[in-house]
Structure 1
Amino acid sequence: MSAKLAIVVPCYNEEEVFPTTVARLLALLDGLQARGAVTPDSFLLFVDDGSRDRTWALIEEHTARDRRVHGLKLSRNCGHQNALLAGLALADADALVSIDADLQDDPEVITAMVAKFHEGCEVVYGVRNSRASDSAFKRVTARGYYRTMQLFGVEIVYDHADFRLLSKRVVAHLQEYAEVNMFLRAVIPLLGFRSDIVYYERAPRFAGISKYPLRKMLAFAMTGVTSFSVAPLRFITLLGFLTFMFSFVMVFWVLYGKLMHGNVIPGWASSVIPIYFLGGAQLLSIGVLGEYVAKIYLESKRRPRYIVEKQV
Structure 2
Amino acid sequence: YTALSTKLNTMIDKDLISPKSALVFVDDGSKDNTWNVLDSLIKCPPPPRAVLGIALRLSANKGHQNALLAGLEYASKRCDCAISIDCDLQDDINVLDSFIQKFRDGAQIVYGVRKRRRSDSVFKKYSALGFYKLMHLMGVKIIYNHADYRLLSRHAIESLMEFKEVNLFLRGIVPLLGYKSDVVYYDRLSRELGKSKYPLRKMLSFAWNGITSFSIMPLRLVSALGFVFFMLSLGIGGYALYIKLFTDNALWGWASTLIPLSFFSGIQLLSLGIIGEYIGKIYSESKHRPRYFIQEIRESKKEM
Hey, what does 2:207 align to over in structure 1?
221
The residue aligned with 1:168 is 154
The reply on whether 1:52 has 2:36 as its aligned counterpart is no
For the pair 1:115 / 2:94, whether they are aligned, the reply is no
The corresponding residue for 1:76 is: 60
- Report the equivalent of 1:18: none
Counterpart for residue 301 of structure 2: none
Change (3 A) 1:248 1:186: same
Deviation string for 1:50-97 (max 9, x for gaps)?
122322122222222456000100011111111000001111211010
Moved more, 285-294 or 69-78: 285-294
Instruction: Measure the CA separation in 2 of the matches of 1:289 and 1:156.
Output: 24
Tell me the distance in 2 between the aligned counterparts of 1:258 and 1:305.
61
Q: Is residue 74–residue 310 contact of structure 1 (8 Å, CA) maintained in 2?
A: yes
* RMSD of aligned alpha carbons: 2.9
SS of equivalent to 2:93: coil
Q: Are 1:85 and 2:69 an aligned pair?
A: yes
- How many residues of Structure 1 are paired with residues of Structure 2 in the alignment? 287
Matches within 5 A, 1:70-219: 70-91=54-75, 92-219=78-205
Residue 164 and residue 284 in structure 1: after superposition, are their counterparts in 2 closer, same or farther (change >3 A)?
Answer: closer
Q: Given residue 90 of structure 1, which amino acid in structure 2 is its aligned partner?
A: Y
Report the Cα distance in structure 2 between the residues aligned to 1:110 and 1:71, rounded to whole angstroms: 21
Q: For residue 134 of structure 1, give the secondary structure of its aligned residue in structure 2.
A: coil
Shift of 1:299: 4.2
Q: Which of residues 14, 22, 32 in structure 1 aligns to 2:11?
A: 32
Instruction: Report SS of the residue matched to 1:309.
Output: strand
1:265 aligns with 2:244: no
TM-score, L = length of structure 1: 0.83
- 1:6 maps to what in 2? none
- Secondary structure, aligned partner of 1:27: helix
Aligned letter for 2:4? L
CA pair 233-54 structure 1, distance change in 2 beyond 3 A: same
Query: How far apart, in 2, do the equivalents of 1:85 and 1:242 lie?
Result: 42
Structure 1: 4+ residue segments shifted above 6 A: 278-285, 287-292
Give me the TM-score of the superposition, normalised by structure 2.
0.85
Mind listing any 5+ residue stretches in structure 1 that lack a counterpart?
A: 1-21
Match of 2:22 among 20, 43, 46: 43
Cα shift at 1:45: 0.4
Which residue of the partner structure matches residue 302 of structure 2? none
Q: Which amino acid aligns with 1:23?
A: T
Task: Give, in whole Å, the separation in 2 of the partners of 1:205 and 1:139.
Answer: 16
Tell me which residue corresponds to 2:216.
Answer: 230
CA contact (8 A) 1:240 1:280 kept: no
CA 1:161–1:295 in 2, change beyond 3 Å: closer, same or farther?
closer
Structure 2 equivalent of residue 17 of structure 1: none
2: distance between equivalents of 1:212 and 1:44?
A: 23
Higher relative contact order (CA 8 A, sep 6+): 2
Calculate percent identity across the aligned residue pairs.
Answer: 49
Deviations 1:12-49 (A, max 9, x none): xxxxxxxxxx1111112112211222111110000011
5 Å matches for 1:258-297? 258-265=244-251, 293=279, 296-297=282-283
